[in-house]
């Protein structure tokens, strides 16, 4: 298992680092900081709280450290998250600023949720992704990204894989990459897919979390070019995936051959996509 | 007699040295301000082109200059990389405590520089740098205008003070 643990500790306020290191080094999944409440450490499904209350300064420290004191380099804040060095994702919550119906940032933050990125090489070895387009389904926090990362890495031993890592979470610095893998990071998914197709000549394109119609259109276009796809989506089952309107174009086009459905206990089952 | 001559030479020499070092400090201030202006330009360009995070930006900018500005920027980059302070201003405060500044006005400018960094989006950050640039130019103008006179005065004063002191002591 790989985890950029020091990078995580470095974005926490100094008073919290030692305690989080002691309690959560092996099992920490999420760290939730809410102003006026003690920090919540989610460890393999159970929670533990530290004894000091979180202040606005603590939240600000985390945001500054995660963005490396560079708000201009972290424009994903308007999308409600930040990716810290090491691939740890920080979800933001608070009072937002909207202009012309579009969210442009946060006026004030009230809580953040830090999700710890961990890499488990070999967890997807039971999945046969050879010559197929694979869709990984699961609810948030069930391990879609972890599974995709490993599957892409394994397939890249034999095939040329282009990874479109829009949030820099799949292969942050320090995570082992595959032998024939090219990673396009910090790039919108639809643009990234198009660029990878045009310039990298991939056999497989891997993309995390399809969330918009543009992503679906780009995937359809890539599939039409003879490229196999690896992707993840938020859905608890194939039926849920089918019912979500945003995914209808993908379903109707029958792009994916195999579906991996993740379960809450991090196990998964493989299903053939109905034709 | 020879001891007296030696004393006179030493007195004049040390006073003149004091005057010359004051003149050099004046020149150093001007040089530092020019370097700071160049760094501000460099940072604005790099920010617009690459959106570099601040620690890298400071590290790169420090390679473009020397002297105090170089020392401040590389120390600031290291301080930012340590991630122990809540904001850039606090990091700059720590750096300024460690590094000897040529003058109070330069110190004030660095503090203003620290306050302007790391708070805003790109447009805001560029405006912040512009504000520091204006302050820098404001400080630089009188320095440049009076440069020749000031330097000559410091040197002459040093030598004259030395001669006067030597006469008094003889």
Summarize pLDDT for A164-220 with one digit per residue, the tens.
988 888 998 888 898 899 999 888 899 999 999 999 999 999 999 898 889 999 999
Residues A56 and A109 in one domain: yes
Q: How far is residue A228's CA from residue A152's CA, in Å, rounded to a whole number?
A: 11
Residues A107 and A132 in one domain: no
Contact: A73, B53; criterion CB under 8 Å: yes
**Nearest-CA neighbor of B63 among B79, B77, B53, B45?**
B77
CATH number at A196 reads: 3.40.50.300
Q: Print burial letters for A171-199: b (CB count within 10 Å at least 16), e (below 16).
A: bbeebebbebbbbbbebebbebbbebbee
Quick one: pLDDT band at residue B155, thresholds 50, 70, 90? confident
Q: How far is residue A134's CA from residue B24's CA, in Å, rounded to a whole number?
A: 71
Residue B49: give the domain boundaries.
Answer: 2-169
Reply yes or no on whether the pLDDT at B149 is more than 90: no
Q: What is the mean pLDDT of residues B137-151?
A: 86
Contact: A10, B83; criterion CB under 8 Å: yes
Instruction: Tell me the backbone φ, ψ of residue B48, rounded to 5 degrees.
Output: -70, -35
Residues A16 and A34 in one domain: yes
Residues A133 and A92 in one domain: no
Residues A155 and A108 in one domain: no
The total number of residues shown for chain A amounts to 275
CB of A107 less than 8 A from some CB of B: no
Output the pLDDT for position A133. Answer: 92
Q: How far is residue A190's CA from residue A219's CA, in Å, rounded to a whole number?
A: 8
Q: Which residue has the higher pLDDT, A137 or A174?
A: A137
- Asked if A233 contacts A219 with a C-beta cutoff of 8 angstroms, the reply is no
Output the pLDDT for position B1. Answer: 66
Residue that the structure tokens 């940032």 belong to: A105
Residues A128 and A256 in one domain: yes
- Asked if A117 contacts A88 with a C-beta cutoff of 8 angstroms, the reply is yes
Output the pLDDT for position A38. Answer: 96
Residues A104 and A182 in one domain: no
Residues A132 and A247 in one domain: yes
Q: Which residue of A has its CA nearest to B51?
A: A73
Nearest beta carbon to residue A71 from set B80, B91, B120: B120
Nearest beta carbon to residue A71 from set B55, B84, B119: B119
CB of B83 less than 8 A from some CB of A: yes
Boundary residue ending a domain (A93, A115, A137): A115
Q: Give the lowest-confidence range in A70-79, A160-169, B27-36, B95-104.
A: A70-79
- Asked if A141 contacts A235 with a C-beta cutoff of 8 angstroms, the reply is no
Residue A29: give the domain boundaries.
Answer: 2-115
CB of B2 less than 8 A from some CB of A: no
Quick one: pLDDT band at residue A267, thresholds 50, 70, 90? confident
Residues of B in contact with A99 (CB under 8 A): none
Strand partners, A105: A97
Residues A155 and A254 in one domain: yes
Interface test with A, best of B48, B53, B117 (most A CBs within 10 A): B53
Summarize pLDDT for A10-21 with one digit per residue, the tens.
999 999 999 999
Residues A177 and A248 in one domain: yes
Q: How far is residue A140's CA from residue A153's CA, in Å, rounded to a whole number?
A: 22
Tell me the three state secondary structure of residue B15. Answer: helix
Interface test with B, best of A9, A17, A70, A97 (most B CBs within 10 A): A70
Output the pLDDT for position A22. Answer: 93
The total number of structural domains that make up chain A: 2
Residues A133 and A105 in one domain: no
Q: What ipTM was assigned to the predicted interfaces of this complex?
A: 0.75
Q: How far is residue B115's CA from residue B132's CA, in Å, rounded to a whole number?
A: 10
Query: What percent of chain B is predicted at pLDDT more than 90?
Result: 46
The total number of structural domains that make up chain B: 1
CB of A69 less than 8 A from some CB of B: yes
CA dihedral B81, B86, B92, B95 (to 10 degrees): -60
Residues A268 and A174 in one domain: yes
Count the alpha carbons within 13 Å of A184 in the hemisphere toward its beta carbon: 23
Summarize pLDDT for B110-137 with one digit per residue, the tens.
999 999 998 878 888 999 999 999 999 9
Tell me the three state secondary structure of residue B51. Answer: coil
Summarize pLDDT for B66-92 with one digit per residue, the tens.
899 999 999 999 999 999 999 999 999
Q: How far is residue A192's CA from residue A215's CA, in Å, rounded to a whole number?
A: 10
**Nearest-CA neighbor of A41 among A57, A23, A54, A59?**
A23
A to B CB pairs, distance under 8 Å: 47
Instruction: Tell me the backbone φ, ψ of residue A97, rounded to 5 degrees.
Output: -110, 125
CB of A61 less than 8 A from some CB of B: yes
CB of B80 less than 8 A from some CB of A: yes
Contact: B86, A71; criterion CB under 8 Å: no
């Amino acid at each position: 298992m790989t985890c950029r643990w020091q990078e995580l500790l470095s974005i926490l306020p100094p008073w919290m680092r030692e305690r989080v290191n002691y309690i959560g080094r092996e099992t920490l999944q999420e760290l939730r900081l809410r102003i006026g409440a003690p920090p919540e450490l989610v460890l393999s499904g159970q929670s533990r709280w530290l004894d000091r209350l979180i202040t606005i300064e603590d939240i600000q420290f985390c945001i500054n450290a995660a963005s490396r004191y560079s708000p201009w380099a972290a424009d994903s804040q308007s999308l409600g998250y930040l990716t810290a060095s090491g691939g740890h994702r920080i979800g933001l919550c608070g009072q937002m600023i909207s202009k012309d119906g579009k969210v442009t940032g946060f006026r004030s933050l009230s809580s953040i949720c830090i999700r710890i990125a961990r890499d488990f090489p070999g967890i997807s070895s039971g999945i046969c992704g050879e010559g197929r387009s694979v869709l990984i389904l699961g609810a948030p926090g069930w391990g879609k990204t972890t599974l995709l990362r490993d599957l892409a890495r394994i397939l890249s031993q034999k095939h040329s894989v282009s990874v479109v890592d829009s949030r820099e979470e799949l292969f942050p610095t320090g995570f082992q990459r595959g032998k024939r893998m090219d990673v396009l990071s910090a790039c919108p998914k639809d643009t990234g897919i198009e660029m990878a197709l045009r310039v990298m000549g991939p056999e497989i394109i891997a993309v995390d979390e399809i969330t918009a119609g543009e992503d679906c259109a780009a995937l359809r276009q890539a599939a039409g070019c003879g490229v196999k796809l690896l992707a993840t989506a938020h859905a608890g089952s194939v039926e849920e995936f089918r019912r979500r309107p945003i995914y209808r174009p993908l379903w109707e086009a029958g792009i994916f051959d195999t579906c991996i459905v993740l379960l809450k206990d991090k196990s998964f089952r493989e299903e053939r996509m109905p034709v | 007699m020879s001891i007296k001559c030696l004393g006179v030479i030493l007195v004049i020499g040390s006073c003149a040295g004091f005057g010359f070092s004051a003149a050099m400090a004046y020149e150093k201030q001007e040089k530092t301000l020019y370097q700071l202006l160049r760094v501000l330009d460099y940072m604005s360009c790099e920010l617009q082109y690459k959106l570099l995070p601040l620690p890298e930006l400071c590290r790169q900018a420090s390679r473009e200059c020397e002297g105090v500005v170089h020392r401040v920027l590389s120390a600031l980059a290291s301080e930012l990389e340590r991630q122990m302070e809540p904001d850039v201003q606090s990091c700059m405060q720590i750096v300024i405590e460690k590094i000897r500044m040529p003058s109070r006005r330069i110190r004030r400018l660095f503090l203003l520089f620290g306050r302007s960094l790391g708070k805003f989006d790109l447009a805001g950050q560029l405006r912040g740098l512009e504000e520091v640039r204006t302050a820098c130019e404001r400080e630089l103008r009188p320095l440049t205008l009076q440069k020749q006179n000031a330097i000559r005065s410091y040197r002459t004063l040093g030598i004259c003070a030395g001669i006067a002191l030597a006469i008094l002591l003889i």
